[in-house]
């Protein structure tokens, strides 16, 4: 369905009737903040690097050559300092303040849901706020690991010289908070799936735990492999910020 008046009315009525809303968010909620997604038209996977960009977050590749990841990561950390939450992040924070939104499960590693004021956020792919030495397990806070990342080609542990890795979940590693995520989504009577191609498992499997209604908002293809199209009650093909601006003309939440 296009993002039109009828769609907005239908979704507003779903939100008004819902007692427990949950969200699964993906990289698309942060593109208007200036952070590129993976698979969208300006996504990281469409850029030209010396190495296949799908290897950036591959744990086996990182173990062989961490420098490729760190080239990318330096740019990402610089971008993070500049960015601020999108209208969509702010709308979701407002829905939580209203008491209707019970939790956000995010695949993102940019902390923009927190920056927008959301409290109930599960970062299933981790984040950059802590880093760990892969040899001795020493933990590094954000400031120290950021400084080392900017100063060293490959940041190394001050104690043992091992390679330090941010606590981002790479392909090939276990996601975090899986049980808690299943629990929030299975208890929701309305689930929003936002800005995700639904191709990365196990995150893409989570919507199928929902027994309530499911609204998918995404500009571009959403895989039906893990969430069959007949399980989706409302599929909005369009820009997220535009959609939530329209929705809030009906709901009148206070956006901060
Ligand atoms: P993805 O596969 O890149 O899909 C994103 C989807 O969002 C695409 O279908 C886009 O077309 C769509 N999209 C982009 N902008 C908008 C917009 N303004 N309005 C509506 N739709 C839009 O990303 P997924 O999240 O599905 O894949 C999961 C990966 C991406 C996770 O492992 C993340 O860690 C990883 N990732 C995160 C970030 C971040 O933290 N912001 C950035 C890039 C990748």
Q: State residue 13's pLDDT score.
A: 97
Q: Please provide residue 21's backbone torsions phi and psi, each rounded to the nearest 5 degrees.
A: -100, 140
- pLDDT exceeds cutoff 70 at 88: yes
pLDDT digits (tens, 9 = 90+) for 180-217: 999 999 999 999 999 999 999 999 999 999 999 999 99
Q: Which is more confidently placed, 72 or 169?
A: 169
Six-digit token pair at 248?
A: 């809030």
106 has which bridge partners? 25, 123
Q: Which atom of ligand 1 is nearest to the CA of 37?
A: 43
Question: How many other β-carbons are positioned within 10 Å of the β-carbon of residue 177?
Answer: 16
The DSSP letter of residue 175 is P
pLDDT digits (tens, 9 = 90+) for 8-18: 999 999 999 99
Q: How far does Cα 18 stand from its chain's mean position?
A: 23
Find the 43 Cα to ligand 1 centroid distance in Å.
Answer: 8
Find the 167 Cα to ligand 1 centroid distance in Å.
Answer: 19
Residues labelled catalytic: 125
Q: State residue 20's pLDDT score.
A: 96
Do the beta carbons of residue 195 and residue 26 sit within 8 Å?
A: yes
Q: Please provide residue 153's backbone torsions phi and psi, each rounded to the nearest 5 degrees.
A: -60, -50
Six-digit token pair at 83?
A: 């960015």
């Amino acid at each position: 369905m296009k993002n039109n008046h009828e769609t907005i009315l239908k979704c507003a009525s779903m939100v008004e009737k819902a007692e427990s809303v949950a969200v699964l968010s993906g990289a698309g909620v942060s593109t208007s903040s200036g952070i590129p997604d993976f698979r969208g038209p300006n996504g990281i996977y469409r850029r030209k690097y010396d190495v296949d960009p799908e290897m950036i977050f591959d744990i086996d590749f990182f173990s062989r050559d961490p420098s490729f990841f760190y080239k990318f990561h330096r740019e990402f950390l610089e971008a993070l300092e500049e960015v601020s939450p999108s209208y969509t992040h702010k709308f979701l924070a407002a829905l939580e303040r209203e008491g209707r939104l019970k939790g956000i499960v995010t695949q993102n590693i940019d902390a923009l849901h927190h920056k927008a004021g959301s409290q109930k956020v599960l970062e299933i792919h981790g984040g950059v706020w802590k880093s760990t030495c892969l040899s001795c397990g020493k933990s590094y806070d954000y400031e120290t690991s950021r400084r080392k990342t900017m100063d060293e080609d490959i940041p190394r542990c001050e104690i043992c010289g091992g390679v330090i890795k941010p606590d981002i979940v790479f392909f090939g590693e276990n996601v975090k908070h899986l049980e808690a995520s299943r629990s929030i989504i299975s208890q929701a009577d309305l689930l929003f799936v936002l800005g995700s191609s639904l191709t990365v498992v196990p995150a893409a499997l989570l919507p199928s735990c929902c027994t309530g209604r499911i609204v998918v908002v995404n500009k571009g293809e959403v895989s039906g492999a893990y969430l069959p199209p007949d399980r989706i009650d409302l599929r909005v093909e369009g820009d997220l910020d535009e959609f939530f601006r329209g929705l809030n003309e009906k709901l009148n939440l206070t956006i901060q």
